[in-house]
Structure 1
Amino acid sequence: MQKTITFSLLLAFILQACSQPQPKKEKQPDLPKEKTAFQTSNPWKPVIDVRADVAIVYSVKDHHEKGNMTFEERVQSWRDRGYTTHFMSGIAWGEYQDYFTGEWDGKWHLDEGQVTQHGDTIWHGHMVPYIVPSMNFIKYMKEKVIKRVIDAGIDAIFLEEPEFWARSGYSDAFKREWKEYYGFDWRPQHESAENTYLSNKLKYQLYYRALNECFTYAKEYGKSKGMNVRCYVPTHSLVNYSQWQIVSPEASLAALPCVDGYIAQVWTGTSREPNYFNGKAKERVFETAFLEYGSMESMTEPTGRKMFFLTDPIEDWPRDWADYKKNYQATFTAQLLYPMIADYEVMPWPNRIYQGYYRTSANSEEKERIPRFYSTQMQVMINTLNNMPLSENKVSGSQGIGVLMANSLMFQRFPTHNGYEDPQLSNFYGQALPLLKRGVPVKTVHIENVSFPETWKDVKVLIMSYSNMKPMDQSAHDHIAEWVKNGGVLMYCGRDQDAFQSVQEWWNTNGNNFSAPSEDLFLKMGLKAPFVAGEFEYGKGKVCILRNDPKEFVLEENNDNVFVNTVNALYQKETGSELEFKNSFALTRGPYELVAVVDENPEKTPYSIKGKLIDLFDPEIPVLDEKQINPGEQAFLFNIGNVENPETPQVLATAARVYDENRSRNEYSFVAKSPLNTTNVMRVLLPKEVKKTEVTDAAGNPLEADMSWDGESKTCFLRFENNPDGVRVKLSW
C-alpha cells in the first residue's frame, strides 16, 4: 500500500472490500478439531494438561526458566500429548528485547515505544514498551518470529492485542510516521480535537498496516512450504478498548483477506470496568460482558470470519477466589447466550490459574492455590465447551433492537476538548443499559458492516448517536438510509455539540458543508433543516430524533424513561407488540439451560426453572427438580430431559475430558483425562442401576472412587482424582 494514501481512501477501500460478498469458510475435512483452545508459554506439564483441542504456544523466545526449552521443544512437548499446536504472540508488545536492544540489526530501538505528553514511555514489561509499529519492526516480526513459527510446522498464528494507547502519540517514532502518512509535520493531540482525531486515526492505521503486512507474509511464506497458514487476531472488544482509551483496528480487520478470525478477549478484568446506570457508577459484570461479546459477534457475523470466545477463571488483578468464581460465572453465562458462536478459548495461562497463589478471602492477605471446589467447577464448565452446540434458538426477550457502533468510538476518548466529557463511555451505555436492564437483549451493529445485507437481517429498530463516534465514510449513510426506506426504524439521539463534530472530515470538505455528520444522513432520508426533535417518515420506514446525548439517560437517576418509552413506542409501531420488560434472560442450547437475572430492576422475583437439572455451577453437580435464580445471579444447567438418545449410556457432566468410549449390552467404559492435582466429578446416564464399578489408572491399578446412584434421573455420580495419563472407568449393570 502506498504510504501517501489518505485515510479516507483507505477506509473507502476497506468498505468496498466489505461490500463484496464474503463466502463463509468451510473447514477442510483433513483439519483436526479446533473447537476449544488455551494459550500457554509453558511446556507441557501434568498440572496444566487442560485437554482442549488446541494448545496455543506463546512466544518464540527460548525460555531457560521454563524447562530450559527452545520454542520448538515447547511446541513438541504439547504435540507429544496429542494436542494440535498453534502460536500466539503480541503485536503491540512481546518478548522482543533483541529488537529493542539492537541484537537483531545492530541498532537501538527503544525510541519506538509509545510515549505520553510528559515524555513517559508506556511499558508492558522490563525493556518491553508498547510499540509504534514501524516498517522495520514489522520486518523483524516477519523474519524473526513468523518465519520461525511456520518452519516449526505451525499453520495457525495469533497476533494479539494491537493496542495504541490514546494518551500516547508523542514519540519521535510516531512523529516520523505522522509526517510520512499525512505529508505534514506532527501536531500535538492535546492542542485540539482535530489533532486528537488525526492522531488516533494514524494509530488505528499503523496497526491495520502491521497486521496486514505480517499476516500477508505468513500466508505467502506458508504457501511456499505447501502450508495453508491461518491468521487470527485475539483482541479486546470495541466496548472495552473505547472505555480503556485504547485505539485498535478492530472491525476493519474482518475485511482483510489475510485475517481468518478473532479471539474475543472478554473476561472479569474487562467486564468489571464500572459504568453508569440510573445515576450510579459501579461494576456490572454480566451486563458489560454481554455487550462486549455482542460487539465481537456482530463485528464478524456478516463477514463469516471465525470467532473464538474467551473467558478467564481468574484475572490479571490479584483478588480472592470467591470474587473470581462469582465473576467467572457471570462472564461464562454471557458468552453462552450467543448461540451462534461455539468455538472457545477455554482459558488463558493455565499455569497461573492452577499454580498461582491468590487470597483466600477478600479481607485476608493469606493466599492459596486454586481450591478444589473451584478447580472442579471450572473443569466441569470448560468441558461442556468441547460439546457446546450451535443453536438457532434466541435469547428470551424482544428481538430486533440494535445499537450502532463505529471504530471511531476509540478516537474521542482522550484528551477532553472544550469541556466535553463522556464519563465511562456513557454515551454508548446510555443507549444499551436502559434496555438491557429491563430484559431486552440489545444487539450491536457495526457501521463498518452496514453494506452487508446480513447485518440488517434481525434489526427492527436501530439506535444511534454521533455524540461519541463519527462515520469515517460517507457511503455508510447510503446503506442506513436505504434500510430505513425499506421499512427500518431509526432512532437518533444526540445534541451534536461535541468538539469532534467540527474536525476536518468528509462532511465539511470537498463540497460538503455540514456542521455535523448527522445532517448528511438526515438529508438522505428526506428530512429538512433545522433537524429538530420529532418523528418523521421516510419511504416505508421511520426516523425519530431525540436531541439528548445518550449519556444523559444514565448519568442522572430516573432519567431514562423518555428514551425507553420512545424506543418502546417505535418498536410497537414496527412489530405490533410492545417491548417485553422483565428481569431475566434465558436460552436453551441443546441440553443446556442458561439463565441470567439482572438486578437494578423493579422486578425482584427470582427466575424458576423445573425439570431434571444438573447444576453445572455446583462442584457437586447435583440433580435438582427446580432451580431458582435470584437477581444478580446466573445459572448453567444440564437438562436431562433434553438428552438425545436417553437409552444410550453417556457422560452428561464431568470435570475431565472423556475418551475411548465403549458400550455393550450391560457395560459402559471410557477414559477420563484432566490435570494432575484436581478432582473429577461425573454424572453418567445409564439404562439401569450400576452393579459394579471399576476405576483404574493407566497401568490398571485400582483407584479410590466414590459412587452413588440417583434412580429418578438414572444417573451415576462418580468422584475420583484426575490424572492426565487417564483414569479408566468401567460401569456394569
Structure 2
Amino acid sequence: MIIRFFYCLLLLIAFPLVSAQSFSGRSEEVSGKTAFQTSSIWLPQIDIRSDIAIVYGANDRPGLTFEQRLQSWKDHQYQTQFMTGIAWGDYKDYYLGKWDGKNHMNVAQVQQNGDAVSHGEYNPYVVPIDSYLDYFKKEIIKKVIDAGIHSIFLEEPEFWAKSGYSDVFKKEWQRYYGFPWRAQDQSAENTYLSNKLKYHLYYHAIQEVSSYAKAYGKSKGVDVKVYIATHSLVNYSSWEIVSPEASLASLPSIDGYIAQVWTGTSRTPTYYNGIEKERTFENAFLEYGSMVSMTAPTHRTLFFLTDPIEDWPRDWSDYKHNYEATFTAELLYPMINHYEVMPWPERIYTHTYKLPNSNKEVLIPRYYSTQIQVMINALNNMPLSGHKVNGSQGIGVLMCNSLMFQRFPEHDGYTDPQFSNFYGQTFPLLKRGIPVQLVHLENLGYPESLQHIKVLIMSYSNMKPMTEKSHQYLAAWVKAGGVLIYCGRDNDPYQNVMEWWNTGKNHFKAPSEQLFKLMNLNPELRAGQYHVGKGMVYVIRQDPKEFVLQHDGDIPLIATAAAAYKNATQGRSLIFKDNFCLERGPYDIVAVMKEGVDTNPYVVQGPVIDLFNPKLPVLQDKVVEPGSEAFLYDLKRIRNKKHPQVLATAARIYKEVITPKSYSFLAKSPLNTTNSMRILLPQKPVSILVQNVDGQIVSNIETSWDPLTKTCWMSFDNNPQGIHVTLKW
C-alpha cells in the first residue's frame, strides 16, 4: 500500500530499544495464519500477538541494525519474515552513488513535465533497470537471507501510468520493441505500448529477484519463499498504476500474495445510478474478489490485509466505520483464512488522530483498540468454510491485466470516469445482492477459472486480450454450454492498437470480432441473442460505463443477465436483495447495502455476541441497518457447550488449564489497551482471580454473568507479558 513511511522512522527515534522480557510459556506452535508488517523494533504498545512479524526494510539505523530489529521480535516468540518495496524504498546508497560510485537518481519514473514520481526525498519510484536489480539482489535479498529470513515479501511493483518519459525508460523501450521511443501522450497506441512495457519491466524485475532469492537460499540449504504484497487489479486500474498482477501467479518462484486492500483503496469514489460517492464495502468486496480470482487457480497462498486506519489523516470514527466495511468484505471469502491483520501497528497504537467533529488529536480511544483486538484475535481462529455467501451463484465478470493500460492519458475524447466501465459490469448485480465473481482472462487455461461460472459478463471497452489463446478458451467454454454476455460499442481508441488481433494473419478491427468468428458468428455482431453450440451469447451494444453513469442506466444489463441466468440454470431466477451473509464456523458475517432493491434491515436471530461492540454484549437478535455491517458469534453453534472456553477476546489466550471446578489461562495483548472477553462456563463462577505475571492481584476488573447463555464477561487492562485469569465455580 502507498504509505506515509517516514512516521515509522521517527517512531524509532522516540522509543529506545527494549530489552527482551518475553514470557516463555507460549503453548502452541506458530501457525503462520496471521501477520502484521512493521518498521519498528518490538514495543509493548504494539505487541498485538499475531503469529508473524513481517519486519520492513533491511536498512541499518544509528545504533540499531536490521538484525537487532529482527531479533527484538524473535525474542518475543514471533515468527519473523521480511518485506521491502521493490519499486521504491530507502535505497539511498544506490541512488546517491555510495554502492558503486555512480549516481542513479536517473532511474526515477518521470512524467511528461519532467518531474520525477517520488515516494519521498531521495526515494523515487524506479524504472527497474539491470543495475538496480543487481543492487537489490546483492544488498537487500542476500543480506536478509544471511540474517535468517526464509520468507520475503516484495511490496508494490508499481509503475505509474503518468510516467514514461525518462531517458532510461526510452532505452528500455528501444530494447524491448526494437524501435525508438514514442511519447504516450501522442496516441492511444503509444499509451498502450508504454504501459505494456511498464508491465513487462516489473514482471521481469520480480522474476529476476525471486529467482535469485530461491537460488541463493538453496545454496545455503534454505527453502526461501517469495510473496508479492500488492494492491488489487481493481485498485491499480482505478488509480492509474501499472503492475504485473495476475501474470506473477504463474511464476514458479512466486509462492503467494498479500492482497493489499484497505480503507484508502476501497473508499475511492465510484459511480452508480448516476451518483459519484464512496462505496467502501462494495469496492472492497470486488477488490478482494479480484485477488481470489488471480490466485485461486494457481493454488498460491493468499493473505488478505485490512487496516484499522489508513494513510491519510482522518478521525477515529471515520477509521472505525470504514474498517468494519473492509473487514466484513474480507471475511465474505470463506476460502481464505490467512490474514495480514494490519500494517504499521506503531502508527495505529502510538500516533494521535482527531476525534470526530474536533481538531483535538488523541491516541487511539480504548473502545476502538479493544474492538480491533477482538477482531484480529477472531482472525487467529477464523476457519475455512464450505458455505457460500447467500445469493445467486455463478455470475462472473471478466477482467485482464490490460485494464491498467488504458487509464492515462485520455485520447480522442473517450473517457472512463472513475473506472466506470468496470463498475458498470459489477455494481448493477452487486447492489442487487448477487455475489459477483471476478475471472482473470490470464487464468482461463486453468479449468478451475470457469468451473463454477454459469454466466460470464465481459467487455473490451476498457481492456484488451493479451493473447489469442484466451479467446480459444472462451469459445470452447461457450460451445460446451457457457453463457456469455458481451457489452461494448467497440469504438474506444484502443481497439486499433498494434496487437495480435490486427497483425500477422489477423486483420480484425476489434478483438471481439476475432472472438465472435471463433464461435462461428458474424465478426461484426449486432445486439441480440445467439446460440453457440450448447451455449449462448448475448450482445449489448453499450459500453458498461453507461450502466452506472446514468440513473437506471443498468436496466438493459439486468434484464439481459436475468434472461441469461435462466437460460444457464434451467429456469432459475436471479435473487435480488440488499444484503450479503455468510456462516463461518460460529461466526456470522453480514453486510447490508444502501442503494439496493429495498431499505429493509437484516435481522440475525440470537443469541449472538456482537463482536463489533467492545463490550461484547449478548443479543437476542441483531438488527443490521442498510449501510452497515455486523460480525457476530452465534452461541447456538458452539461445538462443545460443556467445555469451558474463551469465545471472544481482545487478547490472545495461552496456557489454558481446565479442571472439573476451574478454568485458567494467560491473556496477552498490547500495553495501554483494555481487554474485553466473553467466556463460556458450566455455571456462574464463585471466585475470579486476576494476576499479573509477578503474581500481583489486578483489582480494576469488571465482570458480569449472563445466565441464559452461561457466559461470563470480563474486562481489565492488558499487558503484553500476560495476565493470569482463574475462574472457579
Deviation at 1:364, TM superposition (A): 2.1
Counterpart-to-counterpart distance in 2, 1:451 and 1:61: 41
Deviation at 1:715, TM superposition (A): 0.5
Aligned counterpart for 2:590 among listed residues 592, 595, 600 = 595
Aligned counterpart for 1:706 among listed residues 678, 702, 707 = 702
Letter in structure 2 aligned against 1:711: P
Q: Counterparts of 1:317-328 in structure 2 under 5 Å?
A: 317-328=312-323
Q: Deviations over 1:18-50 (max 9, x none)?
A: xxxxxxxxxxxx994110000001000100001
Letter in structure 2 aligned against 1:358: Y
- With over 3 angstroms needed to count, the CA separation of the structure-2 counterparts of 1:74 and 1:305, relative to structure 1, is same
SS of alignment partner, residue 612 of structure 1: strand
Tell me if 1:264 matches 2:262: no
Q: Counterparts of 1:93-112 in structure 2 under 5 Å?
A: 93-112=88-107
Q: Counterparts of 1:191-202 in structure 2 under 5 Å?
A: 191-202=186-197
Letter in structure 2 aligned against 1:343: H
Counterpart-to-counterpart distance in 1, 2:557 and 2:29: 49
Q: Counterparts of 1:124-139 in structure 2 under 5 Å?
A: 124-139=119-134
The answer for unaligned runs of 5 or more in structure 1 is 1-29
Q: Deviations over 1:552-577 (max 9, x none)?
A: 00001111111101101110121121
Q: Counterparts of 1:242-641 in structure 2 under 5 Å?
A: 242-361=237-356, 363-575=357-569, 576-641=571-636
Letter in structure 1 aligned against 2:50: A
Counterpart-to-counterpart distance in 2, 1:519 and 1:475: 15
SS of alignment partner, residue 108 of structure 1: coil
Aligned counterpart for 2:46 among listed residues 23, 45, 48 = 48
Aligned counterpart for 1:715 among listed residues 711, 714, 727 = 711
Letter in structure 2 aligned against 1:569: A
TM-score (norm 1): 0.95
Letter in structure 2 aligned against 1:44: W
The answer for unaligned runs of 5 or more in structure 2 is 1-27
Counterpart-to-counterpart distance in 2, 1:285 and 1:359: 21
Q: Which residue matches 1:10?
A: none
Q: Deviations over 1:114-156 (max 9, x none)?
A: 0000000011011100000111100001100000000011100
Q: Which residue matches 1:91?
A: 86
Counterpart-to-counterpart distance in 2, 1:574 and 1:461: 7
Q: Deviations over 1:402-450 (max 9, x none)?
A: 0000000000000001110100000000000001001111010000001
Counterpart-to-counterpart distance in 1, 2:603 and 2:588: 12
Q: Deviations over 1:572-595 (max 9, x none)?
A: 121121100001110000000010
SS of alignment partner, residue 32 of structure 2: coil
Equivalent pair of 2:600/2:626 in contact (CA under 8 Å)? yes
Equivalent pair of 2:512/2:523 in contact (CA under 8 Å)? no
Letter in structure 1 aligned against 2:32: E
Counterpart-to-counterpart distance in 2, 1:150 and 1:566: 55
Cα RMSD for the two superposed structures? 0.9
TM-score (norm 2): 0.95
Letter in structure 2 aligned against 1:161: E
In the TM superposition, structure 1's runs of 4+ consecutive aligned residues that sit over 3 Å from their partners are none
Tell me if 1:728 matches 2:714: no
Deviation at 1:63, TM superposition (A): 2.4
Letter in structure 2 aligned against 1:415: P
Counterpart-to-counterpart distance in 1, 2:523 and 2:248: 36
Q: Which residue matches 1:227?
A: 222
Counterpart-to-counterpart distance in 2, 1:579 and 1:625: 32
Q: Which residue matches 2:36?
A: 38
Counterpart-to-counterpart distance in 2, 1:696 and 1:190: 68
SS of alignment partner, residue 458 of structure 1: coil
Letter in structure 2 aligned against 1:395: V
Counterpart-to-counterpart distance in 2, 1:609 and 1:371: 29
Aligned counterpart for 1:687 among listed residues 682, 696, 717 = 682
Equivalent pair of 2:514/2:523 in contact (CA under 8 Å)? no
Deviation at 1:365, TM superposition (A): 1.6
Counterpart-to-counterpart distance in 2, 1:684 and 1:376: 16
Letter in structure 2 aligned against 1:61: N
Equivalent pair of 2:34/2:379 in contact (CA under 8 Å)? yes
Tell me if 1:176 matches 2:171: yes
SS of alignment partner, residue 123 of structure 1: coil
Counterpart-to-counterpart distance in 2, 1:645 and 1:608: 26
Aligned counterpart for 2:210 among listed residues 201, 212, 215 = 215
Percent of matched pairs sharing the same residue: 61
Deviation at 1:529, TM superposition (A): 3.9
Aligned counterpart for 1:662 among listed residues 641, 657, 661 = 657
Letter in structure 2 aligned against 1:137: Y
Counterpart-to-counterpart distance in 2, 1:31 and 1:463: 45
Letter in structure 2 aligned against 1:250: E
